[in-house]
Structure 1
Amino acid sequence: MQPFIAAMLKVRQAFFAAIVRSLRRTKSLLRTILTFWISPLVLKGEDVVNSSSKQRREEFLEEVERCLRDEVKRERLLAISNGIKRQLRISLQDNPQNMLPSYNHQLPTGNECGTYLALDVGGSTFRVALIELSGKKGEAQDTKILTSRSVKIDQTIRQLKGLAFFDWIAERIDETLSGQSEGHDLTGAPLSMGLAWSFPIEQTSLRSGLLLGMGKGFLAAHGLLGEDLGDLIRDACSRRGLTVQLNAIVNDSSATLLSKAYHDQTTRFALILGTGFNMAAYLPVDIFSPSKFGVRPSTWHDEAQSVIVNTEMSMFGAGVLPFTRWDDLINAVHAQPEFQPMEHFVSGGYIGEIARLALVEGIQNAGLFGGVVPASLKDGYSLDTETLSRIEADPSPNLATARKVFLARHPMTYQPTVADLQALRFIASNVAYRASCIVAAGIHALWELRNEAEHIEGSAYEHTLVAYNGSVMENYPGFRAMCQTELDGLVVASGGRAGMVELMYAEESSLVGAAVSVACLDG
């Protein structure tokens, strides 16, 4: 019996030894089996996290689209246009802040000729040019800038008080005209001069207006409030011995309309869309309340059938525009939340801020950019429209340029993924699209107002140009095309044809418009 038991023990030992050897040989197989059974559980958890994050991102971006794009679909946009038109009609009666008729009641014929000095005083730049208008030559017209000078208005210039600022202007004019006498008689009769003035004045004639506070850090009105702007510039030029005569003062939107109307007599509107927003329109005089014209000579009223109007379009849209929670956030901290509703929707000064507020919400609530808000984006107005413009202009699949632009201006330790950059571009494109639609609605409202005032309808609709300039219209990718598409849709819905109201770039509009405003008087 003992030998049998001993034999069985050896068999058992051999069996266990064989199992151990087998386990050693199949270690990788067991690991594979364990991986097969365990890893799906782990991977499933990771997928749940990724899926949840992706879903939150997609839901947020869908909401961005609903809030911005869906609220300006055609039917809604028509309602917005009609609402703005009602407000325009009311302002034709007694509003002292907008729908302001200028003294320019003549549009150019295109035959005007002559050499004129043009000045453009803006918030950051002063430009002066000698411009030659040659009228129609065959089928074309020739406008030549014989010489020009552009000078940055820095803080030192803004701090010039009273007459010192106007003496500085005269000095720049003198520098520009120096050496330009050859071929141009600048020593005989005074050279006619037109001024595009981008600040408030109480205009009292085509060539004069009472100086008001300029804002933007300028001290030029110090001690001169209520003085005549035309006299101030003429006197400053006289002190330098310049033989010039200021004959017309226009604002930038009026100058844009005049500059394009010189080349195309179907021009009836002008649009300025850069950091700010405004429009000018050529409208019949009889739709205004007489009080809107103040005290003007009877000769002006006898001659004026229509007049160029500074609409101050930025002020319209209260109670009409489709506000989002991001617009409400802007207004909540704005010093004048109800002063310029439409400007807050469409201008370069606000497009970036709307996008910033939406982006920060997406980072905090939907996990964009890894849930990390760049420190710089915590400050209001830190995401500018020019940055969005460059990001939207990047056509590459991996958005390499967009990444470089964004991180250069908003550095962060987290490295944005392509999906993050796509989300940012998606937000920007929706903000810009909404802005283009609102601009189209504003143009359409003015177009319908003019048609109704002149009793034009249906088959009698005329081709009409809207002259434009400004950084958003000129440079933001696809903005002008989007605006034209939406404008076409609104015009068609009103019984017109696509392309009947056409956006057209006005080159050097402030300078050319200032010259044309003087030429209209000579014509």
Structure 2
Amino acid sequence: MAETEENIEHPSHKRTCMCRPLNIPRTKPTPEVLNLLKDLQLTDDNLKQYMKLLMTDIRKGLARATHPTSIVKCYPTYIQDLPTGRETGKYLALDLGGTNFRVLVIELEKNHFEMTSRTFVIPQDKMVGSGKDLFDHVAACLHVFIKEQKLEQECLPLGFTYSFPLVQEALNKGIIERWTKGFKCDDVLGRDVVQLLQDSLVRRGIQKNVKIQAVINDTAGTLMSCAWKSPYCRIGLIVGTGTNACYVEKLTNAEMFNGPNKGSGVVLINCEWGAFGDDGTLNFIRTPEDIQIDETSINPGKQIHEKMISGMYMGELVRLLILRCVKARLLFGGRDSVDLNQKDKFQTKYVSEIEAQKPGNHDRCKAILENLGMQNLSDQDLQNVRFICECVSRRAAHMCAAGLSTLIKKTEEKRITIGIDGSVYRHHPYFHYLMMEKMKVLVKPGVVFDLMLSEDGSGRGAALTAASASSSIY
């Protein structure tokens, strides 16, 4: 599920390809710490090798002959039409991807929209019970929302954001591959999520009020939301708890696409790039801490790329690197604490909070470490910890930059906008600028690109997909 937008100032609320370069702070660690952590600092040659490997995997994922063994799956989403900004009408959106889910009604006018939403809770017994009970609960909540908004006399198209692993067979057909995030309704694995919801609507007696037009994931929603504002948007990226990307591909290259060509000549591809590296291709830039995080995770050997980038793992990576420095007696005089040795105790939000302070101001860093049981901290200790945070976030941003540069090259566009969402991108003070800085090095000269923060891709993006689908029959 895409993260909730908060009232924060963020540089990427504006399109920034022409913005004034930012002087991104670089903390000066001790020479010994700098040398110990050199494996975290990727060179441009490292990133160019990464791009070459990713491009190879994308091409394998697109091709019918190599798709079964591909790591980056490149699933067609069956979205062939992007928003034009001229969509009008009233649409429903359903955003299901966690213990809370949202129902929205969105009224589109040219260059303007109005949105009303309500969040509902999914009880624990529905998360681990039968699929019928889960979708009946969703339909019941949708019914409550329809009555609250006085929509009983209308039949509205619905866009369904479903942020669990899904194999799409049409724009309005997706096969449930597996459950994540604490859900376990295994009796519906291998079944069509749209049909499951439709059956629940019928049992609830509200099928006359709702027409399910499309099912998408949050990455596609991000792209669709930004494409409504920018006619150049061709890539969507999520960098939050997890990470994924999608992009617009020529239909002739998408060999796994099994639907009719509706005339645009393109289709949106869900890369599922979190799995990049699951076959060992990223071992040349992985650290011992990356390997430890993977081995102690709930899915060893899976989502290697995601584990090097996303918010679920960033804080833990910092903690393990701190312990590397402690073991080498380069930090805290070789001392540690019980809390510092506890898995996931160093939260990812601490990375953003520490880097958000002006260089030389270590108040937040000190408070965090003291809360983890560390005392008698020197200024150099605090400066070294900030440097560790910078190493982790910089590597993540540079890997994202290399991934996006690869997708830009794949699209062959000369001007392109990238829609982005996710808690890491939204809340880290420099992630946007670190990406821009590196993409200016990696993207082919002459290509104009910019990064745009998505506004509610899981809601508005789903509604816009429904709007596009409503104009033709898929």
Q: Normalising by structure 2, what TM-score?
A: 0.85
CA distance, structure 2, for counterparts of residue 322 and residue 202 of structure 1: 30
Counterpart in 1 of 2:465?
517
C-alpha deviation, 1:202, in angstroms: 3.2
Q: Which residue of 1 aligns with 2:195?
A: 231
Counterpart residue number, 1:164: 133
Equivalent positions of 1:305-384 (< 5 A) are 305-317=265-277, 318-320=280-282, 322-334=285-297, 336-384=299-347
Aligned residues of 2:83 and 2:224 also touching (Cα < 8 A): yes
Structure 2 distance, partners of 1:396, 1:486, is 22
What does residue 438 of structure 2 align with?
Answer: 486
* Mapped partners of 1:257, 1:386: distance in 2: 25
Report the equivalent of 1:425.
386
- Letter in structure 1 aligned against 2:62: L
Matching of residue 133 in structure 1 with residue 81 in structure 2: no
Supply the distance in 2 between the matched residues of 1:330 and 1:495 (Cα, whole angstroms).
Answer: 37
Tell me the residue number matched to 2:164.
199
Matched to 2:340, the amino acid is: L
CA distance in 2, matches of 1:439, 1:307: 22
- 2: CA distance, partners of 1:158 / 1:197: 14
- For residues 50 and 170 of structure 2, the distance between their equivalents in structure 1, rounded to whole angstroms, comes to 35
Q: Secondary structure at the match of 2:400?
A: helix
Aligned twin of 1:32: none
1:210 is aligned to 175
1:466-506 CA-to-partner distances (Å, cap 9, x unmatched) read 10000001101201111111112212xx2225xx1211100
Contact 1:267 1:465 in 2 (8 A): yes
Change (3 A) 1:67 1:418: same
User: Cα–Cα, structure 1 residues 513 and 302, in superposed 2: closer, same or farther, change >3 Å?
Assistant: closer
Moved more, 77-86 or 101-110: 77-86
1:89 matches 2:56: no
Counterpart check, 1:472 vs 2:424 = yes
1:351-391 Cα deviation digits (max 9, x unpaired): 22221111001112124123221212213333221122112
Distance (Å, rounded) in 1 between the aligned partners of 2:406 and 2:308: 16
Q: Hey, what's the Cα distance between the residues in 2 that align with 1:396 and 1:406? A: 17
Q: Which moved more, 1:425-434 or 1:97-106?
A: 97-106
Question: 1:152: Cα distance to partner?
Answer: 4.3
> Could you tell me which amino acid in structure 2 is paired with residue 445 of structure 1?
T
Change (3 A) 1:206 1:168: same
Matched, 1:282 2:252: no
State the 1:80 CA deviation: 2.1
Q: Runs of 5+ in structure 2 lacking a partner? A: 1-28
Q: Aligned equivalents of 1:79 and 1:496: distance in 2? A: 22
Instruction: Write 1 or 2 for the structure with the bigger share of helix.
Output: 1
Letter in 1 for 2:97: G
Matched residue type, 1:429:
E
Contact 1:166–1:236 under 8 Å retained in 2: yes
Give the superposed CA RMSD: 2.2
Alignment partner of 1:439 is 2:439: no
Within 2, Cα distance between the matches of 1:371 and 1:501? 46
Q: What amino acid is the match of 1:315?
A: A
2:140 matched to 1:174?
A: no
Partner residue, 1:24: none
Task: Provide, for residues 403-431 of structure 1, a one-character-per-residue CA deviation record: whole Å limited to 9, x for no partner.
Answer: 223333x134x332222221111101011
Q: Indicate conservation of the 8 Å contact 2:220/2:246, yes or no.
A: yes
In the superposition, relative to structure 1, how do residues 422 and 156 fare at CA in structure 2: closer, same or farther (>3 Å)?
Answer: farther
2:120 corresponds to which of 135, 143, 151: 151
Which amino acid is 2:334 matched to? G
1:257 aligned to 2:223?
yes
User: Quick one: which amino acid aligns to residue 50 of structure 2?
Assistant: I
- 1:211 is displaced (CA, Å) by 3.2
Cα distance in 1 for partners of 2:165, 2:354 equals 35
Q: Report the residue type matching 1:61 in the other structure.
A: V
1:392 matched to 2:366: no
CA change 1:342–1:226 in 2 (3 A) is: closer
In 2: Cα distance, 1:418 partner to 1:155 partner: 46
- 2: CA distance, partners of 1:132 / 1:406: 48
1:455-474 CA deviation, whole Å, 9 max, x = no partner?
xxxxxx52201100000011
Q: Partner amino acid for 2:103?
A: V
CA distance in 2, matches of 1:334, 1:268: 33
Contact 1:60 1:362 in 2 (8 A): no
CA contact (8 A) 1:197 1:252 kept: yes
Following the alignment from structure 1 to structure 2, what is the Cα–Cα distance between the partners of residues 127 and 241? 20
Cα pair distance change 1:175/1:87, threshold 3 Å: same
Q: Which amino acid aligns with 1:269?
A: I
Q: Distance in 1 between matches of 2:390 and 2:95?
A: 33
Tell me, yes or no, if the aligned pair for 1:60 and 1:366 is still in contact at 8 Å: no
Q: Distance in 1 between matches of 2:152 and 2:138?
A: 20
Q: Which structure has the greater CA radius of gyration?
A: 1
Change in Cα spacing, 1:111 to 1:479, as seen in structure 2 (3 Å) is same
1:219-255 CA-to-partner distances (Å, cap 9, x unmatched) read 3x34333333222212322333322121111111111
Query: Normalised by the size of structure 1, how large is the TM-score?
Result: 0.78
Q: Does residue 105 of structure 1 match 2:80?
A: yes
Q: For 1:327 and 1:277, how far apart are their aligned partners in 2?
A: 16
Q: 2:205 corresponds to which residue?
A: 241
| SS of structure 2 residue aligned to 1:279 | strand
Secondary structure, aligned partner of 1:309:
strand
Q: Given the superposition, is the C-alpha separation of residues 370 and 236 from structure 1 closer, same or farther in structure 2, using an over 3 Å criterion?
A: same
Q: Label 1:129 to 1:406 Cα distance change in 2 as closer, same or farther (>3 A).
A: farther
Match of 1:462 among 414, 420, 423: 414
CA contact (8 A) 1:117 1:192 kept: yes
Query: Which one of 398, 403, 411 corresponds to residue 373 of structure 2?
Result: 411
| Aligned partner of 1:63 among 18, 35, 39 | 35
